[in-house]
Amino acid sequence: MRIALYQPDIAGNVGTILRLAVCLGVGVDLIEPMGFAYSDRALARAGMDYASAAEVTRHVDWAAFEAGAPGRLVLLTTRGGTRLDQAIFRPDDVLLLGSEGSGVPPEVHARADLAVRIPLRPAFRSLNVAVAAGIALAEALRQTGGFPE
């Protein structure tokens, strides 16, 4: 299981997701360009001392990521046709999240093998990307028996 971030905008969110990934034992793919320098202090602050232990693969663009994507692409999106609580996850899934400001473009959306949405109350449109990653990753690991011992 992996988490992939498509052109993330906010260093603090990436740091938080790196910390999540280290603690739960999953790798992270960062699809560039990013809206900040990878050395940004906000990334280090949010990731704390965990970020340096993260298994991170950086990809220069979507094409480079797609060429080496190791498993099924599960896009987390507010436009997902499958509710998180009805999705069936696999151990080799890559949970793909879009940039905070613009999500993913149509061609990336179309490439996803599964588009999943986290059900929210009607008047609210989205969660913070790091929160969404944590919720979806927990459900995926629960289903696949992938939580650390």
- pLDDT digits 0-9 by tens, 96-122: 999 998 999 999 999 999 999 999 999
Which strands form 73-76's sheet, in the order they lie side by side? 56-59, 27-31, 2-6, 94-97, 73-76, 114-117, 82-83
In one letter, which amino acid is 51? Answer: A
For the chain, list the domains and their CATH numbers.
2-104+116-144 (3.40.1280.10)
The pTM (predicted TM-score) of the whole model is 0.95
- pLDDT digits 0-9 by tens, 11-67: 999 999 999 999 999 999 999 999 988 886 777 777 777 888 999 999 999 999 999
- pLDDT digits 0-9 by tens, 58-89: 999 999 999 998 889 999 999 999 999 999 99
